[in-house]
C-alpha cells in the first residue's frame, strides 16, 4: 500500500532586506520550524529532508490524508517571507523521483 506524499515546491529566491552576511534563504528555516511543529502536533509527518531541486527548494510531507497535507502545504506557502509562486505536487512514497504527480497551486483559496 502506498502513502500519499505532498511535495511543497518553493521558488529559490533570496529573502528581502538581506545584508551581505545574512543567510540568503531564511524562509527555509522558517518552513522547517513550521513543519516540525506540525509534525509534533500530529497533523502530518516530514517525509524526507528538504532539498534544492533546480530553481526550487522542495519540502516533503506525508502521514495524513491528502486534504490535510494540502492544507499544511497551503499554510507553508502563506508564511511570512516565503516567496510567491509555491506549489504542491501530490505523489506517493513509491514514486521513483520527485516533481512528478498532480500539481496544486498554493496557497489554496
Of 10 and 23, the one with more pLDDT: 10
Summarize the confidence of residues 76-104 as an average pLDDT: 93
How far CA 72 is from CA of 3, 20, 77, 93, in Å, comes to 16, 32, 9, 18
Q: What are phi and psi of 34, to 5 degrees?
A: -60, -45
When mean pLDDT is compared across 10-19, 66-75, 89-98, the lowest value belongs to 10-19
pTM for this predicted structure: 0.92
pLDDT in the model for residue 24: 81
pLDDT of 17 strictly over 70 = no
Amino acid at each position: 500500500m502506498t502513502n500519499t506524499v505532498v511535495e511543497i515546491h518553493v521558488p529559490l529566491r533570496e529573502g528581502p532586506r538581506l545584508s551581505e552576511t545574512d543567510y540568503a534563504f531564511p524562509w527555509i528555516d522558517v518552513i522547517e520550524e513550521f513543519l516540525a511543529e506540525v509534525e509534533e502536533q500530529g497533523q502530518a509527518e516530514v517525509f524526507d529532508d528538504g532539498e534544492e531541486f533546480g530553481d526550487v527548494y522542495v519540502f516533503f510531507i506525508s502521514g495524513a490524508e491528502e486534504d490535510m497535507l494540502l492544507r499544511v502545504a497551503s499554510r507553508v506557502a502563506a508564511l511570512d517571507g516565503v516567496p510567491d509562486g509555491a506549489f504542491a505536487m501530490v505523489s506517493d512514497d513509491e514514486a521513483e523521483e520527485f516533481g512528478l504527480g498532480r500539481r496544486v497551486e498554493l496557497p489554496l483559496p
